[in-house]
Amino acid sequence: MTAIFTVILGLLPVLALTRVLVRSKGFKGFAGEFRVRWSAWLFLSRSEYKALHNVTLPTHDGTTQIDHIFVSRYGIFVVETKNFGGWIFGDPDQATWTQQLYSKTFAFQNPLRQNYKHTQTLAALLGIPHAKIHSVIVFVGNSRFKTVMPDNVTQADGYIRYIQAKQARLFSPSEVDAMVRAIKARRLRPSLATQRAHVKQLEQRHKNRKARRIR
């Protein structure tokens, strides 16, 4: 009995750390992206949709990080994942949206605007019209929309239906393969160092914007 009690005591710090990690923003982001990746693997034809995940690309002011890219004959789908709970309020034209979680409210950047930079970066990289790139937002987690959202703002696996509904052929198979190669050639190597550098330049960009507002 004493040995069992000792083992339990030894596990307490591990359990506490696990609880903290599961609640962390980083873990929630990873869990959300994993769900999108898994559902895409299940429901999107891998011969039709070439998937690239966690793509960090260089930009004129640092880097931009894209959760998921699906390259197909029907266009390029750039997917931004949000793992939120509670009620979500937003309008496509607003700079920030609102999350209401119980009695608390939190503002966050309009994900459509956030993803616009991703799609612009990709269009410039590939030298293609921006209209051939589809922006898709996926909310996972226990959240509910409390305002009307555009069709490209989806919940859970709803993004699959949005992607599959696009049937106009915009690219040839050879163009699809060439664009996949171009993205792979330009993306920064997925690593902890790349992630840290990206986060650091985001923080610096935020500080610069804040300093300009103060002036």
Per-block average pLDDT, block size 10, for the chain (215 residues)? Answer: 54 44 50 89 97 94 94 98 96 96 95 97 97 97 95 95 97 98 94 82 67 62
Cβ contacts of 110 within 8 Å, gap of 6 or more: 90, 92, 94, 95, 96, 97
Backbone angles phi, psi at 195, to 5 degrees: -65, -45
| pLDDT computed for residue 3 by the predictor | 55
- Which helix (H) or strand (E) is 203 found in, with range? helix 192-214
- pLDDT tens per residue across span 35-49: 999 999 999 999 999
- One DSSP character per residue, 42-102 reads HHS-TTT-EEEEEEEEEETTEEEEEEEEEEETTEEEEEEEEE--EEEE--TT-SEEEEEET
**Amino acid making up residue 42:** L
43, two tokens = 């429901």
15, two tokens = 């359990």
**Amino acid making up residue 192:** L
Cβ contacts of 20 within 8 Å, gap of 6 or more: none
- Which helix (H) or strand (E) is 135 found in, with range? strand 133-140
| Alpha carbons within 13 A on the beta-carbon side of 153 | 21
Query: Could you give the angle at the alpha carbon of 115 between the alpha carbons of 114 and 121, nearest 5°?
Result: 110
* C-alpha torsion 158→143→33→192, nearest 10: 160
45, two tokens = 């034809």
| pLDDT computed for residue 209 by the predictor | 62
pTM over cut 0.85: no
CA–CA separation, 51 and 213 (whole Å): 39
